[in-house]
Homo-oligomer: A and B are copies of this chain.
Amino acid sequence: MSEYLPDKLAEITIKMLGDRWKVLIIQNLLDGTKRFGELKRELGTITQKVLTSNLRLLEEKGILVRKVYAQIPPRVDYTLTQLGYELKPVIDSMIIWAEEYRRNVAKALNINLADCAE
């Protein structure tokens, strides 16, 4: 039964990173502190609402900190915590796997093309 405990651990991490936007946000912040608008531009098609709610959740979970400046126009900086930075190896291994996956897809396409040629 104790062999199932590692199962539960991966589940914890998936809950933090379990969707497109969270992983992209964290990955962006690996570059260093960024402002709301900067993140929004670099992430592309994300809505303000979705960005806000994802940032707030990651803050709540201790992945990042949000620093509000007393100024107008408003300025808010987002920075990964140490815990957030420690997600880098996870993301890196994901990138490595995706590159392998891409190679496999390309290989599968080649096979399909050969079938069509016959």
A residues adjacent to B (C-beta < 8 A) = 4, 6-7, 9-20, 23-24, 27-28, 42, 62, 83, 86-87, 89-91, 93-102, 104-105, 108
A17 to B7, CA, bound (A): 13
Interface residue from B10, B15, B20 paired with A14 (Cβ < 8 Å): B20
Q: Is the CB of A99 within 8 A of B9?
A: yes
- Knowing A28-B7, A62-B104, A104-B62, the reply to whether A13 touches B98 (Cβ < 8 A) is yes
| 22 residue pairs bridging A and B, Cβ less than 8 Å apart | A4-B42, A6-B95, A7-B27, A9-B94, A10-B23, A10-B27, A10-B94, A10-B95, A11-B23, A11-B98, A12-B102, A13-B94, A13-B95, A13-B97, A14-B18, A14-B19, A16-B101, A62-B104, A62-B108, A86-B97, A86-B100, A93-B93
